[in-house]
Amino acid sequence: MDTLLLCIEKNPNKSKKPLIISMPGEQVSGPVEESTETQYGVEWARLNPPGPVSLWLWSTNHEFRAGSEAQRREMLMQTIVSLQGRVQSGEGSMGRKWSKTKICDALGTTIENASEENFEALEKAVSVLAEVQWVRMNENERKLTFVPEDLRLWKSDRPILWTRERYRSAGETSATFGLPALSKWISDREADGWTGQYPSAEGTLEALKKSWNSMNIGIPSTKSESGRILKEDYARALGKAEAIQHLRGTG
């Protein structure tokens, strides 16, 4: 506790106490009931409090997973303060777009109250600082998104986390589930009508064409009314192909 108080005292964001959301009907004492279900090849459990930091703690910290609601909130608060302190010390650089103040503000914001900008910063900060990556499932839209959003940046030595219901559910697979297995998992979801969010490749039209043709995987689809394959079609198709190759380890 002395360490926590020292961190808080040194933290320039100490006046901004993290807002931890309370869900209707939640238990505030006693262990959290971990009722689980298996769906999409993932074992799911209720995540409360919700959010990216909680997802990381639930997936990697046994004490957090087994704790009561009050214990989880205390651990979450301590972790947020610690992450804010690391940002202020220079860790977790996310480019010129995100200042230290913006990142710290995002870390202390609940997912319910976060603006789109803060929500993006919150996800990026947790991914960078905790060195984790995760899949988000939007069941209403049957859409898969990823953090980091560019699958070509995913790393084989980092754990893969899972979430849905805007971080109100956390999921896990086997410890041996790696990037090649993720590629197969995404393919299975797409075969079932889901859509994945892939990066777009960059470059001139000629460079994109050359890279695409070197893969020898057919002709990109197009959404243009004329049926002509445009630069954005090559960028989209090439980005997806590169992401799949990266996950499979064949790139």
What pLDDT tens digit does each residue of the chain (251 aa) get?
444 444 445 555 444 444 443 333 333 334 455 567 899 999 999 999 999 999 999 999 999 999 999 999 999 999 999 999 999 998 877 777 888 999 999 999 888 778 888 899 999 999 999 999 999 999 999 999 999 999 999 999 999 999 998 899 999 998 889 999 999 999 999 999 999 999 999 999 999 999 999 998 888 988 888 889 999 999 999 999 999 999 999 76
Among 136, 151, 134, 154, smallest CA distance to 239 is for 151
In angstroms, the CA 11 to CA 16 distance is 10
Number of domains in the chain: 2
Are 60 and 118 in the same domain?
A: yes
Instruction: Looking at the structure, tell me whether residues 89 and 25 fall in a common domain.
Output: yes
Last residue of a domain, one of 177, 196, 215: 196
Query: Do residues 90 and 110 share a domain?
Result: yes
Which domain-ending residue is among 155, 177, 196? 196
| Model pTM score | 0.82
The SS3 of residue 133 is strand
What is the number of other CB atoms lying within 10 angstroms of the CB of residue 112? 10
Q: Are residues 143 and 49 in the same domain?
A: yes
Closest by CA position to 251, among listed 204, 202, 214, 206: 214
Q: What is the pLDDT of residue 222?
A: 86
Do residues 120 and 143 share a domain? yes
Give the Å distances, CA to CA, from 24 to 21, 65, 111, 163, 212: 10, 20, 16, 20, 51
Which of these, 139, 177, 173, lies nearest to 59 by C-alpha position? 173
Same domain? 189 vs 231: no
Contact between residue 199 and residue 241 where contact means Cβ atoms under 8 Å apart: no
Rg (CA), the chain: 20
What residues make up the domain containing 21? 2-196
Phi first, then psi, for residue 218 (nearest 5°) are: 100, -155
> Do residues 94 and 217 both lie within one domain?
no
Residues 94 and 23 in one domain: yes
* pLDDT at 126 (0 to 100): 95
Tokens of 17: 């106490």
> Residue 94 in contact with residue 103, Cβ under 8 Å?
yes
Half-sphere exposure of 215 (CA within 13 A, CB side): 20
The predicted structure's pLDDT at residue 251: 64
Whether residues 154 and 84 share a domain: the answer is: yes
Q: Do 125 and 239 lie in a common domain?
A: no
Residues 135 and 84 both lie in one domain = yes
Q: Are 135 and 170 in contact (CB under 8 A)?
A: no
- 162 plus 232 within the same structural domain: no
